[in-house]
Amino acid sequence: MNTSIKKRFSTAATTYDRHATVQSMVAEKVIGLTQALPAPYHLLEIGCGTGQLTKRLCERYPTTTIDALDVSGSMLDQAKLSPNNSQNIRWIQADIKTHEHVGYDMIASSSALHWVEPLEDCFQRIYGMQQDGGFFVASIMLRHTLEELHASRIRVAPHKKPLGQLPLFEDVLKIMTTCGWEILYDEPEKHKIVYPSAHDFLQSIHAQGSTGGSVSQSDDPLTRQELNRLIADYDTTHKNSDGTVYATYRIGFVTAKK
């Protein structure tokens, strides 16, 4: 497990919900997608975090046994506070890469699977946890999410390249098909979010825990001066006519059957 991912999300646990505008919108769409699927008996949610999707799953499936899994105990502690949780929820602090349970007739996940690397192994494992005929419904962040930030970063510190990158949607679908899933629905979406300034934007993604992981980190972190230059670059290059700035998120939505 990349311990920096667990640490980042644990640190962000109490601030996450205030800043997770995109993730909340995305969880709403994932719940909408479940309407085309039969209600499950035993559902696994991967990377439940503070429970953006969990509380919606509990409302939608009040009698289903829901295993809500996250590697961060602090994120789970926040999720447990929701008044919408059902009686049948089981909180599991674990890395999805080591979770052993099988036989789920539905597996759901929102804005989390892009953190699990390598994606091929992750999907192979999830596939193995599903009952034959079971359903998978998920959203995943895609390549070119926060492309403005990456562009500013490369201008300011071209020698400090990120260690990894987010997946392309076509690759996600190819991996899933290779595992054996029948894809029932797939759609990429693009959302432009407005922030008062580059400084507010950076604070917000930090408060969401999103500054961790190989996708946004290089071996050599930015210095304070580079960070200040990045903020200035972002404020100039990615601004709206009213002086606010924007950031683009790309999300892939998928439902599939085993």
Ligand X SMILES: C[S@@+](CC[C@H](N)C(=O)[O-])C[C@H]1O[C@@H](n2cnc3c(N)ncnc32)[C@H](O)[C@@H]1O
By CB under 6 A, tell whether 156 contacts ligand X.
no
Binding residues for ligand X restricted to 222-241, rule: CB under 6 A: none
69 closest CA partner among 132, 38, 134, 113: 113
Which residues does 202 contact at the CB level (< 8 Å), separation at least 6?
231, 234
57, 58, 68, 112: which one binds ligand X (CB under 6 A)? 112
By CB under 6 A, tell whether 53 contacts ligand X.
yes
In angstroms, give the least distance from the CB of 172 to ligand X: 16
Contact stretch for ligand X (CB under 6 A) within 43-51, 159-167, 182-190, 217-225 = 43-51
48, 57, 68, 92: which one binds ligand X (CB under 6 A)? 48
The amino acid present at 86, given as its one-letter code, is S
Rounded distance, CA 164 to CA 230, Å? 20
Binding residues for ligand X restricted to 4-33, rule: CB under 6 A: 5, 9, 20, 23, 27
Tokens of 118: 């390598």
Contact stretch for ligand X (CB under 6 A) within 64-72, 155-163, 219-227, 244-252 = 64-72
Rounded distance, CA 143 to CA 126, Å? 22
Q: 9-31: buried (b, 16+ CB within 10 Å) or exposed (e) per residue? A: bbbbbebbbebbbbbebbbeebb
User: What residue has token string 């709206």?
Assistant: 240
111, 130, 204, 255: which one binds ligand X (CB under 6 A)? 111
In angstroms, give the least distance from the CB of 131 to ligand X: 21
Measured from the CB atom, is 26 or 231 closer to ligand X?
Answer: 26
Binding mask 71-100 for ligand X (x = CB under 6 A): xx--x-------------------xxx---
Q: What are phi and psi of 72, to 5 degrees?
A: -100, 120
Rounded distance, CA 213 to CA 227, Å? 18
Rg (CA), the chain: 18
Binding residues for ligand X restricted to 116-145, rule: CB under 6 A: 116
Interface contacts to ligand X, rule CB under 6 A? 1, 5, 9, 20, 23, 27, 47-49, 52-53, 69-72, 75, 95-97, 110-112, 115-116
